[in-house]
Amino acid sequence: MAQLTLVEAINSGLRSEMERDSAVVVLGEDVARTGGVFRATQGLLERFGPERIIDTPLSEAGFVGFAIGMALYGLRPVVEIQFDCFVYPAFEQIVLHAGRYRWRTGGSVGLGLVVRIPFGGGNRAPDNHSDSPEALFCHVPGLKVVCPATPADGRSMLQAAIRDPDPVIFMEPKRIYRAGREEVDETAAVDDVVQPRAALRRRGDDLTLVAYGGNVPFCLAAAEKLAADGVSAEVLDLRSLYPLDRDAILESVRRTGRAVVVHEAPGFAGLGAEVSALIHERAMVDLLAPVQRVTGLDVCFPLMANEHDYMPNVARVLAGARRALTF
Amino acid sequence: MTTPVSETPASPAAANPEGVVDPVVALLGDPRVQRVMGDGGALTDVDSPHGLDAEQLLDLFARLILLRVFDERAVAYQRQGRLGTYPMYSGEEAVQVGTVAAAQPGDWIFPSYRQASIGLLRGQGPEPSLRYWRGDARGLVDPRPLRVAPLATPVATHLPHAAGLAWAARQRGDDVASVAFFGDGATSAGDFHEGLNCAAVLGAPVVFVCTNNQWAISTPLHKQTRVSALADKGAAYGIPAVRVDGFDCVAMRLAAGEAFARAHGGGGPTLIEAVCYRIGPHGTADDPSLYRDAAEAGVWERVEPVRRMRGWLERRGAYPDGLEERLRSESRAEIEAAMQRIEADPPPPAEVLVDTLYAATPPALREQLGAWLDDAGGGEGR
């Protein structure tokens, strides 16, 4: 099996799907000749040619709309948004068209479209290159929103997203694109639709740390430290942000009685609020403490000198865990 | 140095010897505006060969009547409380009929809301449109059999769709083009620019038809743009663009024919500016007396497409007696029968809210709807 980073695994998933299905096309800014600014599409031009991997004008509304037209004709376009904040010009296309097309055609035409969004901070990037906009898309009917945390998931979840008959927002935690390698089975079976299935990354009894994307490693590190203090923390990687794996969340919290939800996006009306509400509505009698949130501040993502003042990290996850443990 | 903005753009030809400006001539007398049919007055017939035979001409006329009668009935039904808010298009039939007649059957049509029943031109029958404007989800239909995309209510956002679909068809080796309809207001929106630019750069076989009816609700063209001819915007994308008399169905048919030929021949996109005038209100909820002289709309009656084409056919001895009346009564009977059928249906069930959103409905959605209906007394509170 290959030892791959997350971004290499995404490349591997794209390549496999393009090999398997000639309807899969990739488009975006600088994706073909340079292989994308993060090199996620490296080598695809040489293999598949300019009719399958397309450098577009700097025109997010234009090329997301273009991809919607492609999907309407039966292609399976995978759009790369170069950086998180660059998706905002395409918001109208995603909300009013990608999410609504199946409904608007009486259920007949789903758009098999994937919008890949490298997102989040911690990369010492310039202004407008570090947002975490996932909650905006979770609020939009008709979309699915997923976020891998590991190289193996980066490959298999992208493949499932490409095969899914509905539009999928594929959030890529770019801070951990090259954080490490793991064995990725490039022959593993692939789901034909996005599975709203969370992954239990660490088993524990006293506390559930709920996270996704780049915060899963923080939670695993925090769980390690808690173990040294005799606290057994479970780590649940959501993977699918819409739909949520409600059963996995509730099952875990009913066992541990405590939950901390961690994300980098601003806390107000974020995924943490949704998960917390779910737990309080359905499992309150099993709780030993109110659900805690460890999230980004409700501010503009800062310039790089203040990144560490904004980002969740292991210490902040531990602080959240202690609040839950000492309630 | 800026060009002064003229409130009433007029060419010298527009003023008669008494100096009174004829708005029809001011608008359509521009030599760049392609025309075939005169108006029986100051605008003269252009007798260069148009290449259409008698059957094709009468077919165009029949389609004008079909669209016109639907529009008249829809407005009447809205006034009777039988349809919701409706954007009438009377006066803009020639743009739709001429363009669709020039398309191949396999070409895709991307309408805006103003082309409120354009599926009729592909043989759709009036039911889906009537249902849609009644607010009945059963009017949301599969666009693929007739290749008519759903009406776009957001402005200009469907232009990139038309481009992408046409590009996809070409990539698959299919000889399929697309056409997108939009208005003058849409040319101010970002997606107009992005749609035309992406289509041009990527070489998509698409025809962009701008129905320049001079008004975006209350905003006149000169407050929309400092460009006096919207066709001039084609130059910004390096694509051919033409101005056509949008009340003239034959001129529209010829211009669209050239544009589709270019698209199918690998020549990429074309922009057609169909110059016309919004004779009616923006929609049934609009009151144009708030922003323009009520008498103004009347001057356009002599060039509106039905009267225009009938007069032109009559001048050529090519108009069969009683044709319009016969076509009107046939169309009206079909539309009325369809309206009665759909009114006899029970309202759409609440399940339409969740059942058509995803290929497989997430269980949480179904639960949410179930609980919501229970809260309202098992759905009895509707």
Same-domain status, A25 and A150: yes
Q: How far apart are the first and last CA of chain B?
A: 62
Is A193 a domain residue? no
Query: How many domains is chain A partitioned into structurally?
Result: 2
The whole-angstrom distance between A167's CA and the closest CA on chain B is 9
Residues 95-154 of A with CB under 8 A from B: 96-97, 101-110, 141-142, 144
Reported as a single tens digit per residue, the pLDDT across B196-208 is 999 999 999 999 9
DSSP labels for B313-338? Answer: HHHTT---TTHHHHHHHHHHHHHHHH
Chain A CB contacts of B164 below 8 Å:
65-70, 72-73, 77
Is A266 a domain residue? yes
The whole-angstrom distance between A262's CA and the closest CA on chain B is 23
- In this complex, do A107 and B355 lie within 8 Å of one another by their Cβ atoms? yes
Please give the single-letter amino acid code of residue B259.
A
User: What is the CATH number for A248?
Assistant: 3.40.50.920
Phi and psi of B372, rounded to 5°?
-65, -40
**What is the reported pLDDT for B65?**
98
Same-domain status, A301 and A229: yes
- Residues A4 and A188: beta-carbon distance below 8 Å: no
The whole-angstrom distance between B68's CA and the closest CA on chain A is 25
Nearest by CB to residue B137, choosing from A54, A106, A243, is: A106
**What is the reported pLDDT for B297?**
76
DSSP structure class, residue B41? S
What H or E segment, with its residue span, contains residue B286?
none
Q: Between the CA of residue B81 and those of A18, A217, B101, B134, what are the distances in Å?
A: 52, 60, 33, 9
User: What is the CATH number for A155?
Assistant: 3.40.50.970
- In this complex, do B364 and A246 lie within 8 Å of one another by their Cβ atoms? yes
Is A194 a domain residue? no
**What is the reported pLDDT for B14?**
56
CA trace torsion A181, A186, A190, A195 (10° rounding):
0
**What is the reported pLDDT for B6?**
40
- In this complex, do A105 and B143 lie within 8 Å of one another by their Cβ atoms? yes
Residues of chain A short of pLDDT 50, as ranges, are: none
- In this complex, do A69 and B143 lie within 8 Å of one another by their Cβ atoms? no
Same-domain status, A171 and A302: no
Q: Between the CA of residue B106 and those of A52, B122, B146, what are the distances in Å?
A: 23, 11, 8
Same-domain status, A135 and A229: no
The domain of A59 spans 2-184
Same-domain status, A12 and A142: yes
Nearest by CB to residue A102, choosing from B158, B166, B358, is: B358
Same-domain status, A118 and A263: no
- In this complex, do A62 and B168 lie within 8 Å of one another by their Cβ atoms? no
Is A190 a domain residue? no
Is A189 a domain residue? no
Entry pTM: 0.95
User: Cis omega (within 30 of 0) on the bond before B12?
Assistant: no
Chain B CB contacts of A244 below 8 Å:
364
Is A192 a domain residue? no
Q: Return the residue of A nearest to B356 by Cα.
A: A107
Domain C-terminal end among A123, A157, A184? A184
Assigned token pair, B308: 């225009």
What H or E segment, with its residue span, contains residue A277?
helix A271-283
Please give the single-letter amino acid code of residue A58.
L
**What is the reported pLDDT for B49?**
92
Chain A CB contacts of B364 below 8 Å:
243-244, 246
Same-domain status, A38 and A173: yes
Same-domain status, A164 and A266: no
Compute the radius of gyration of chain B from its Cα atoms: 22
Name the residue among B271, B267, B239, B266 with its Cα closest to residue B255. B271
Assigned token pair, B30: 């521009």
Compute the radius of gyration of chain A from its Cα atoms: 19
**What is the reported pLDDT for B41?**
86
Q: Return the residue of A nearest to B353 by Cα.
A: A103
Q: Return the residue of B nearest to A74 by Cα.
A: B168
Q: Which residue ranges form the domains of chain B, and what is each CATH number?
A: 23-343 (3.40.50.970), 351-382 (no CATH)
A129 noted as active-site residue: yes
Backbone dihedral region of B78: left (phi > 0), alpha (psi from -120 to 50 degrees) or beta? alpha
- In this complex, do B160 and A193 lie within 8 Å of one another by their Cβ atoms? no
Domain C-terminal end among A120, A152, A184? A184
Reported as a single tens digit per residue, the pLDDT across A267-293 is 999 999 999 999 999 999 999 999 999
What's the length of chain B? 382
* B129 contact A CB<8A: no
Phi and psi of B211, rounded to 5°?
-80, 95
Phi and psi of B208, rounded to 5°?
-100, 120
* A168 contact B CB<8A: no
**What is the reported pLDDT for B159?**
98
The ipTM (two decimal places) reads 0.96
Same-domain status, A12 and A155: yes
Residues 315-374 of B with CB under 8 A from A: 355-360, 362, 364
Same-domain status, A169 and A203: no
Q: Is B363 helix (H, G, I), strand (E, B) or coil?
A: helix
Same-domain status, A30 and A101: yes
Domain C-terminal end among A184, A208, A224? A184
**What is the reported pLDDT for B378?**
59
Residues 278-317 of A with CB under 8 A from B: none
Residues 221-260 of A with CB under 8 A from B: 243-244, 246
Nearest by CB to residue A105, choosing from B142, B362, B364, is: B142
Nearest by CB to residue B150, choosing from A62, A69, A104, is: A104
- Residues B155 and B370: beta-carbon distance below 8 Å: no
Please give the single-letter amino acid code of residue B138.
R
Is A171 a domain residue? yes
- In this complex, do A92 and B159 lie within 8 Å of one another by their Cβ atoms? no
The percent of residues above 90 in pLDDT, for chain B, comes to 87
Q: Is B79 helix (H, G, I), strand (E, B) or coil?
A: helix
* B192 contact A CB<8A: no
Nearest by CB to residue A109, choosing from B143, B166, B178, is: B143
B contact test, residue of A53, A60, A70 with most B CBs within 10 A:
A70
Burial B96-109 (b: 16+ CB within 10 A, else e): bbbbbbbbeeebbb
Is A112 a domain residue? yes
pLDDT digits (tens), chain B, 382 positions: 334 444 444 444 555 667 778 889 999 999 999 999 999 888 999 988 999 999 999 999 999 999 999 999 999 999 999 999 999 999 999 999 999 999 999 999 999 999 999 999 999 999 999 999 999 999 999 999 999 999 999 999 999 999 999 999 999 999 999 999 999 999 999 999 999 999 999 999 999 999 999 999 999 999 999 999 999 999 999 999 999 999 999 999 999 999 999 999 999 999 999 999 999 999 999 999 999 988 777 889 889 999 999 999 999 999 999 999 999 999 999 999 999 999 999 999 999 999 999 999 999 999 999 999 998 885 555 5
* A59 contact B CB<8A: yes
Same-domain status, A215 and A305: yes
What distance in Å separates the CA atoms of residue A313 and residue A301, rounded to the nearest whole number? 15
The whole-angstrom distance between A59's CA and the closest CA on chain B is 6
* B231 contact A CB<8A: no
